[in-house]
Chain A
Amino acid sequence: MLPTPCTSHVSFDTIYEPSEDSYLFLDTLASPSESAWLTQRFNATSSSPNQSTASPLVVELGTGSGVVLGFVAANSQVIFGRRDILPLGIDVNRNACIATRETANKAIKERQTDNESEANCQKTVYLSSVMADLGSSLRPGSVDVLMFNPPYVPSEDLPRLPSVTEQDVDESGMSRSAKFERDSYFLSLTYAGGRDGMETTDRLLEEIPGLLAPGRGVAYVLFCAQNRPQEVKERIRAWGDGWQAATVGNSGQQAGWEKLVIVRIWKETA
């Protein structure tokens, strides 16, 4: 098993602590079947040169601690068969953005050492973390690999998005209760998904066709049983035009259903 990136530098006051869902993401992408699929799709020595020698842009939405993106960046050789991927992390939480940058850089350094015996001594370069709502800041058609472990727990209300400036305030001057309130709010953003736990994920699904690179874009999205992933997959296939959805990872059982699943979404070109 490939090592999990170190997150000892991360404060979990406002940031999602890596959990079962995070680990399912790691295990799914590094599984022999999924990494074979990705390696084939993004192989640098493929026969259609212009298409696939270009470095893939790998974007994670809602990076939290950065454990998933850090893992993918550090293990790019295993997962994509190449190290020249371009990892970019997005979260609405500034602390998560900063944490992810450090997690990714540390994980790359740790895993990709100057080892002469290694066939590939290239090193993956972490691009940046950006604060944004989902894919709103990304150029249309630019994303090759999109990953999202969303806030998926059904909740009465969906927490509002942070305002532009509220994360600029210095927390040292904050009262204990103000800090408690702030922390609870940012943690609610990590899990609360509104109706059926799907309000944020539904917005993301709508963005997918516009975000993914034509020809080779692929998205991975995590669902819990209450999100009714079977219906979601049907809905995606109903987009037509070759859109596909398949469960490629799952964990745990709940009343005969898989508790968590990861769905791969991509377009089959004729």
Chain B
Amino acid sequence: MKLITANFLTCAVKGCKASPASFPLHFRDAELELQELDFQPDFIRNIVPRIDWHALQIMANELGFPKILDKKPEGDELKDEQILKELHRLLLETHINEGKLTCGNCGHEYLIKEGIANFLLPSHLV
């Protein structure tokens, strides 16, 4: 699963949706793989507005990536190849193949296997 996917995922437990602690989910025991992909700067520029920057900082940090910008890039920063390339690598080239995503609100763990995150819930949580 590409790292950017986690930007769109939250805890599947109904009661967690309203809690700010349910996003971002937290990666644990993540096995990463880098899969090279053509660098498309225009593409990254259009993805940036969709990214929750604070959440991305947390995820990058938990996965052991070098510190990313403090603030979402804007203006001239969006013309900076280096910044865009780093984002390209982080968001699109980084895959999580095995590991867990855990909810900061209820503590539930979602397993990732072969790059597929499993958000099905045990019956007592549905």
Contacts and interface: CB of A to CB of B under 8 A. Distances in A.
Q: Do A and B bind each other?
A: yes
B116 A94 contact: yes
Interface residues of B, number: 34
A201 to B, nearest CB: 18
28 contacts: A55-B50, A84-B46, A84-B47, A86-B4, A94-B116, A97-B116, A122-B42, A123-B38, A125-B43, A127-B2, A128-B1, A128-B2, A128-B5, A128-B116, A129-B1, A131-B120, A132-B118, A132-B119, A133-B12, A133-B121, A136-B119, A137-B9, A137-B12, A137-B119, A139-B23, A162-B120, A164-B120, A167-B118
B69 interface: no
A84 B42 contact: yes
A158 interface: no
B8 interface: yes
A113 B115 CA distance: 26
Contacts of A142: 8
B97 to A, nearest CB: 11
B28 to A, nearest CB: 17
Given A50-B49, A123-B38, A136-B12, 6 more contacts: A86-B50, A101-B116, A128-B1, A131-B118, A164-B122, A167-B118
A236 interface: no
A95 B94 CA distance: 23
Nearest to A126: B2
Contacts of A86: 4, 8, 47, 50
Interface in B87-103: 92
A122 B5 contact: no
Contact of A163 (B38, B46, B120): B120
Interface in A102-125: 122-123, 125
Given A125-B37, A164-B121, A98 B114 contact: yes
A14 to B, nearest CB: 15
A159 interface: no
B79 interface: no
Main secondary structure on B side of the interface with A: mixed
Contacts of A163: 120, 122-123
Contacts of B1: 127-130
A94 B14 CA distance: 22
B54 interface: no
B17 interface: yes
B34 to A, nearest CB: 15
Interface in B22-66: 23, 37-38, 40, 42-43, 46-47, 49-50
Given A54-B49, A54-B50, A133 B120 contact: yes
